Structure 1
């Protein structure tokens, strides 16, 4: 997609081509007016003559055919060696291919990375993966004893520490209204959903 200040968006290409084809401008004048090379102006004018305004859209730069692509039997052999847990460099050495070619074949086939499957079985590891955040939430609760100001029974003596055993509620208050006994509960929630 062209950026906002590009001289030749689809509309700009049509304007350039109409100046050359319909208004009869010379290519050099149209190229100067639209601040592009003469060869670019010629390309868009020729495409406008052949296809009209529909030909001004961007096209894929992917080739229509790849005559030098690795043959299918060789690709099958690369994938067969991958099942033996070999990397692209070792596969390439065995087959006499560059490691980059083996890597491209493995990537095109969607082969898992060597670090992804289980080492013992070579099967893909099942993970807790969900489509959207919030699909899988893990909640954990940690119970922490309330320690009074100034420390617990180690600093205040065992009589202070025995008060926790006799408390009837989770939280009790002392004469000043502060929390003295019982427990504090820490809640933790983790969102385990993983999106791709």
Structure 2
């Protein structure tokens, strides 16, 4: 994904590491279930008591599968630009080829003065994402 390639050996190492993490979490949960204080178990495994409590809840809800690593991806992106605004930005650029991000932000503000216009950088990212920007080489004098 980021230019990193995994060999079959590396993937198996990652799978082994994930399995070991699940086993460690399971041991911590069973120790607490057997009567050990949560804070002592947390100190022994080098995590907070809240983490051990979260592991217990996840194990109670989902069993052993609940102790596996979970995605860290956000569930929502509340500040994401709406598809309607993105379509408007693209349409403005297609009809007015010379308009850049700054001008499009200005025109969006004129279209609906009560709606917050997206930032110039956001408009530029939309234009790049939709292939509506032709990158030009910068000439820097030395």
- Give the alignment's TM-score, normalised by structure 1: 0.45
State the superposition RMSD in angstroms. Answer: 3.0
What is the aligned counterpart of 1:80 among 88, 91, 102?
A: 91
Structure with the bigger percentage of helix: 2
- Structure 1 residue aligned with 2:114: none
1:91/1:9 CA distance change after superposition, 3 Å: farther
Aligned partner of residue 135 in structure 2, secondary structure:
coil
**Residues 10 and 56 in structure 1, CA contact (< 8 A), matched pair in contact too:** yes
- Structure 2 residue aligned with 1:46: 57
Aligned partner of residue 69 in structure 2, secondary structure:
coil
**Residues 87 and 114 in structure 1, CA contact (< 8 A), matched pair in contact too:** no
1:91 aligns with 2:104: yes
What is the aligned counterpart of 1:9 among 21, 26, 37?
A: 21
**Residues 47 and 56 in structure 1, CA contact (< 8 A), matched pair in contact too:** yes
1:100 aligns with 2:92: no
State the aligned residue count: 109
Counterpart CA distance in 1 for 2:119 and 2:105 is 5
- Give the alignment's TM-score, normalised by structure 2: 0.60
Measure how far apart 1:115 and its partner are.
1.6
Q: Any unmatched runs of 5+ in structure 2? A: 1-13, 109-116, 137-142
Aligned partner of residue 25 in structure 1, secondary structure:
coil
Q: Any unmatched runs of 5+ in structure 1? A: 117-196
- Structure 2 residue aligned with 1:111: 130
**Residues 27 and 41 in structure 1, CA contact (< 8 A), matched pair in contact too:** yes
**Residues 31 and 37 in structure 1, CA contact (< 8 A), matched pair in contact too:** yes
Counterpart CA distance in 1 for 2:99 and 2:25 is 51
